[in-house]
A = this chain, B = another copy of it.
Amino acid sequence: MSASIVLLSGGLDSTVCTAAAVRDHDSVLALSFDYGQRHRLELEAGAVVARHYGIGQLVVSIDASRWGGSALTDPSIAIPEPGAEGIPATYVPARNLIFLSIAMGVAEARDADAVVIGVNALDYSGYPDCRPEFVESFRATAALALKRGVEGRPVAIETPLIDLGKPDIVRLGVELDAPLHLSWSCYRKGPTPCGDCDACQLRAKGFAGAGIPDPALDAP
């Protein structure tokens, strides 16, 4: 009997990641964050994906907009046009560090063996906290922080997408029958994806590369 916590934002990557967690574990709890993101539809998509799989979902609120610093949480910072150099304005300071830390707390409190996160290094939008070296380092730090680590049974961190580019993620999603039509990637408010932002363009590149139409765009 293996139990896991999967970080589910409701985007393409985390939806495919949830499909992998459901494949690999007997019991899965989805963990989502309400961090004041302006793309609220992502949060709703996460709830719908969890319901699709019949798994529980824990939504933890942290109001990152109170300290700001990102175009995703501060309405006064514009969503950048795609193709900008360096770390983009959609970077949320310490986001994955915070999310993984809370996931570790939830995993330990609920005696889960693993945390599953959909970070991927190839098409990672330039965020430093999506890189494999960050995940490796976090793993060691968490083992030192947790009671389970001290007891010699650290919580595993699984990254089933870490070596995949966006087209491979789309292919894996199709192979696992993931509900890609329910996922939401766009950084903007909706009600339909803008098609322009980095997240929309990466997603489009993924489906185009896989030679598969995006089922979210076919929805009425």
Contact = CB atoms under 8 A, between A and B. Distances in A.
Interface stretch (A45-53, A54-62, A202-210): A54-62
A61 B63 contact: yes
User: Which size bracket describes the interface of A in this complex?
Assistant: 35 or more
Contact of A93 (B105, B129, B131, B138): B105
Contacts of A69: 105, 108-110
Given A131-B144, A137-B140, A141-B138, A104 B109 contact: no
A204 to B, nearest CB: 26
A150 B67 CA distance: 21
B67 A58 contact: yes
Interface string A71-105: 00000000000000001000111111110111011
A96 to B, nearest CB: 7
Contact of A141 (B64, B110, B141): B141
A68 B109 CA distance: 6
Contacts of A98: 98, 101-102, 105
A104 B108 contact: no
Contacts of A141: 97, 134, 137-138, 140-141
B58 A61 contact: no
A100 B108 CA distance: 18
Interface of A: 58, 60-64, 66-70, 87, 91-98, 100-102, 104-106, 108-110, 128-129, 131, 133-134, 137-138, 140-142, 144-147, 149-150
| 9 shortest interchain CB distances as A-B pairs | A69-B109, A94-B105, A93-B108, A137-B141, A129-B145, A97-B145, A93-B105, A134-B144, A101-B101
